[in-house]
Amino acid sequence: MTERGLSRRDAIRGLSGAATAGITGLAGCNALGGGGTDELTVAYMPIYPDMQQFVMQEEGYFDEVDAEIDAKEFTDGPSIVQAYASGEIDVGLFGVVPAMIVIDRGIAAKVAAANITEPMMLMARDDFMPLWEDHGADAFAEFEEREGRTFTFGTFPEGSVPDILLRYWLIDEQGLTPGEDVEVIGMGGANAVRQGLATDEIDGTSIMEPVPTLTAESGDPYKPLAIAPEFMPGQPAAVVLMNDEVRDSDVGEQFVEQHVRATEFINGEPDATARHASTVIGEGTLSVETAREALDSPISNFVSDPRAIENGAEIFTEYAAELGKTDERLSLDQVFDYSLYDSVTE
């Protein structure tokens, strides 16, 4: 491991400022969602870590909430951050880092539930695996000597959950420096990463299901390098961020109750869950059969309890601050509200 000092911060700060462009103007904003508690605007992304949204939507669980639910699909976390800033969103199911940005910018909201824990897999090309098995972290230098170029990871944009998880593994677990020992490039969302793997554009990735299952199904030459449960217990990913007005109402508790119900459904009814995932993500992208296989992955760990991601969240608050995504390192008390989850599960 590298020392957690200047060299480590410099390695983390090798990121560009693109991921935070357009967000700096949020400082001091205290916008609440636009619908009060009679109507909730719920933001989500069509990704596996938002599976509870799929179930609540397709199983009709929102009917049990005393508010009209307006669910809006977004393609990325920064877009949800901007929507929060303009007062358009009451509840968001999206990445923990964008959620931290919302909180840090003074918007009155906290994480009321987790969606998933330890959902990331690091993958590398087949022909790299013998080097890894023989040399460990030195395999990247061996690769560069053999290939005449630096090993390139491609993943979600800089500062995203997959990107930070990858950088943590490289810096803290392997003692490597992104930008020197390996390259890390942001490629967009899951579809862009999937395309990069299929066309041999990259040597490895940090990604969540169903991409690893789709990659194996297609016969693309990539294998697991590491999975989050092995090196970051409680790794956070997508969460439920709820503004204070909703959290302080009966509707907030009802929403979390249905979220817990959806988590139980996912873990108890995988066949039906796979059908819902295929429907929401799109059958042309994800068949029911592939969706079902991906649910058996060791990185498909769906939860509602926000305490399940506490350990990893502490690491992510540090990285978010050192990357400049947040102005200061947030405390767990600033990020989480456990009261709604506790009230519906006690």
Q: 231 CB contacts (<8 Å, ≥6 apart)? A: 169, 173
% helix, strand, coil for the chain, step of 5: 50, 15, 35
Looking at the chain, which residues constitute the CATH 3.40.190.10 domain(s)? Answer: 18-118+234-345, 119-231
Rg (CA), the chain: 20
User: How many CA atoms within 13 Å lie on the side-chain side of 253?
Assistant: 10
Give the residue-averaged pLDDT of 219-246: 96
Q: φ and ψ at 14, to 5 degrees? A: -70, -5
Report whether 139 contacts 261 (CB < 8 A).
no
**Does the pLDDT at position 175 exceed 50?**
yes
Cα separation, 250 vs 246, in Å, equals 8
Domain range 119-231, its CATH number among 3.40.190.10, 3.40.50.10490, 3.50.50.60, 3.40.50.300 = 3.40.190.10
pLDDT at 63: 96
Query: 36-40, 41-45, 175-179: lowest mean pLDDT where?
Result: 36-40
Report whether 44 contacts 92 (CB < 8 A).
yes
How is the beta sheet containing 91-95 ordered, strand by strand?
68-73, 39-44, 91-95, 238-243, 109-114
Structure tokens at 170: 């490289």
pLDDT tier, 12 (very low <50, low <70, confident <90, very high otherwise): low
pLDDT at 7: 44
User: How many CA atoms within 13 Å lie on the side-chain side of 100?
Assistant: 30
pLDDT tens figures, 330-339: 999 999 999 9
Give the residue-averaged pLDDT of 168-183: 97
**Alpha helix positions (H), 86-186:** 96-104, 129-135, 139-147, 161-168
Chain centre distance of CA 150: 26
What is the residue-wise DSSP string for 238-255? EEEEEEHHHHTSHHHHHH
Give the residue-averaged pLDDT of 30-57: 82
Q: What is the mean pLDDT of the chain?
A: 90
Query: 30-44, 51-65, 281-295: lowest mean pLDDT where?
Result: 30-44
Cα separation, 76 vs 85, in Å, equals 15
pLDDT tens figures, 108-133: 999 999 999 999 999 999 999 999 99
Give the residue-averaged pLDDT of 16-36: 40
Q: Which CATH superfamily is domain 18-118+234-345 in?
A: Periplasmic binding protein-like II (3.40.190.10)
Cα separation, 256 vs 252, in Å, equals 6
Report whether 202 contacts 221 (CB < 8 A).
no
